[in-house]
Amino acid sequence: MEVALDAERDDAPITQLHIHNAFELGCCLSGSGTLYVGAKILPFREGDMTILTDRDFHRYRSSPGTISRWAWFFFEPTQLLVPIATPSLCWEPARFSGARFLNVLDAAQYPRLADLVCQLMVEARHQDTFSRANLRALLLLIVNELHRRFPKPRRSVRADLNAQSLARIAPALERIAARFQDSISVPDLARRCGMGVRSFQQHFSRLIGHSPQQHLGNSRVQAAAAMLANQDGAISDIAYRCGYDTLSSFNRAFRAKYRMSPREHRKQNQRPGH
C-alpha cells in the first residue's frame, strides 16, 4: 500500500499517459480540472473521488492557471484479506473499467463512499501503531461499497483489453489528448505507434470501440463538456478552443453526444461558485 497525501497536479499540457500496477483511489482536496482515462475525458472538482484500475492509462490536468491538491491511495485489493477474518473478497476490476464507467465520482451522489474516504484520509495522518490495520480495514469497506454501488457489467470485458494491448496505442491516445483541438491524421497516429495504417485502425477500433477519427471527435466534445462544468466564459470560446470552426457545428456535435445543448449541460453540471 502506498499513500500520497497533499499531492499536487498543475495545468501542464498532457504529453504522456501513465499506468499503475495497483488500484488507485483518489480524492480531490481542492481545485478542479480534467482526468484523461484512455478514451474518456472527465471533469473533476473539489470533493470528487477517482477510481482507476491497473488497466487505465490516465493523466490529471488542473484547470488553466491553477493547481489541484490530491490524496491518493495505491493498493492491491486482494492483499487486504486477513486469514479467517476475511477469507474471501469480491474483487472484479471489470466493474470499474471500460467506456461506460465514469472514473470520477461526485461525493454528493455517493455519500457513504465519500464518508469512508474521509475516514481513510484522517486515519492516514495518524501514523501510529494502529494506522496500518485501520487503513486496511477502511480500504476493505471501500472496495465492498464500490462493488455494492456498481453492478457487474452485462457484457464481459474483452480478453484483449489489458494494459499490454492498450500500451500499443498509448502514443495515439496521448497525441489526441494533447492536441485534440488540431487536425490529426490517422497515418501520423499509426506512425507514432509504430504500426501500419490498416493494422493501427483495426487494433484501435477493437480496443476503444470506435475509429481513431471518431475518438478525436469524441475527445473534442468531452473536453468541451469538462470545460463547461469547470470554467466560466463564452460557450463560443470553448467551442473554438476545442477545435470547432463554428458554433453551430459544435452545438450539433454536443447535442448528438449528450442529448442536450451546451448551455443546458453547463446549467446541470456547474456547481456553485462558477
pLDDT single digits (tens) 134-189: 999 999 999 999 999 998 877 655 544 566 777 888 899 889 988 899 999 999 99
Please report the pLDDT score of residue 82 as a whole number: 58
Q: Domain tally for the chain?
A: 2
Contact 23, 93 (CB under 8 A): yes
Please report the pLDDT score of residue 245 as a whole number: 92
| 9 and 144, same domain (yes or no) | yes
Contact 66, 122 (CB under 8 A): no
Structural domain including 183 reads 168-269
Please report the pLDDT score of residue 159 as a whole number: 46
Please name the residue that has the C-alpha cell 485502425: 201
Please report the pLDDT score of residue 187 as a whole number: 96
Indicate whether 163 belongs to any domain: no
Indicate whether 156 belongs to any domain: no
Please report the pLDDT score of residue 244 as a whole number: 94
Indicate whether 155 belongs to any domain: no
> Which grid cell is 119?
475516514
Please report the pLDDT score of residue 88 as a whole number: 64
Please report the pLDDT score of residue 98 as a whole number: 77
C-alpha span between 189 and 165 (Å, rounded) = 16
Please report the pLDDT score of residue 83 as a whole number: 52
Please report the pLDDT score of residue 56 as a whole number: 86
CATH of the domain at 220: 1.10.10.60
Kindly write down the DSSP assignment for every residue of 208-219, as one continuous string: HSS-HHHHHHHH
| 38 and 173, same domain (yes or no) | no
| 196 and 129, same domain (yes or no) | no
Last residue of a domain, one of 95, 121, 149: 149
C-alpha span between 267 and 265 (Å, rounded) = 5
- Closest among 57, 52, 15 to 165, alpha carbons compared: 57
> Which grid cell is 78?
486482494
The segments of the chain whose pLDDT lies below 50 read 84, 159-160
| 184 and 54, same domain (yes or no) | no
- The residues, ordered by sequence, that sit 6+ positions from 182 with a Cβ below 8 Å of its Cβ are 243
- Which ranges of 182-246 does DSSP label H, i.e. alpha helix? 186-192, 197-208, 212-230, 235-241
C-alpha span between 120 and 131 (Å, rounded) = 10
